[in-house]
Amino acid sequence: MSPLAQNFDWFFIVLTTLLVFVVIARYMSSIQITDYLSVFINDKIIKVTLDEPKTYRWIHAALIICYFVALTTIAQLVWGDNHLISKEWVMKLLLIILFYSFQYFVSKICSVITKTEDVVYLGWHYRWFMRNGFAIVAILFAIVAAFKSLQHDTLVIAGITAVFMEILISILIIVKLKKVLLNNWFYFILYLCALEIAPYLLLYKYVKGG
């Protein structure tokens, strides 16, 4: 039995709501959803929208939510729980939101302390465009996984891919900001520790402890 068949109503409502939100957000934004798929090979759209948040605000928010839902669904299935939109599913969703919120607010605090707000803003701008590019693929996979019973190995590979993509995005961000970061080793070390290492160590400790 597919995971979706066990609690069709709630998951169908979530997917339908997401789809409606994405469609509405697309018409309220001036960039295409397909633009996100090109960010890993061409960062033109990232540079063009750097000073124009109104052009992508709504579609950005919609894809971020899709990303959170996709990660939560994949994590739920990897851990062997086919009951989607359950208490455990909601707890995983809240954990993911808390994790990314923690990462964001730590970066804001560090940027104020070190007076590098522009650098951190640029890093987050790149980061979320790349994440949202991956979000499109992730949510499609999550839908397939919910409708069809996939082998556990396939789900584990999907989970590993999600982790790999996060690492890849972090590496790409460092490469994009290397000129600024390497000009001051203190900022570089602080950036690595506060944004790229500490949040993931905390998450790993929580998951291993759970």
Which range of residues forms the domain containing residue 48?
3-209
Q: What is the pLDDT of residues 42-83, one digit of tens each?
A: 777 877 787 777 778 888 888 888 888 888 888 887 776 666
CA angle 23, 41, 96 (to 5 degrees): 55
Tokens 């109503």 sit on residue: 9
Whether pTM > 0.85 for this model: the answer is no
- Count CA atoms within 13 Å of residue 124 on its CB side: 18
pLDDT in tens, 169-190: 877 877 777 666 666 666 666 6
Q: Which two tokens stand for residue 158?
A: 């999907």
Indicate the number of domains in the chain. 1
> Which pLDDT tens digit goes with each residue over 101-140?
887 887 777 777 767 777 778 878 888 888 888 888 888 8
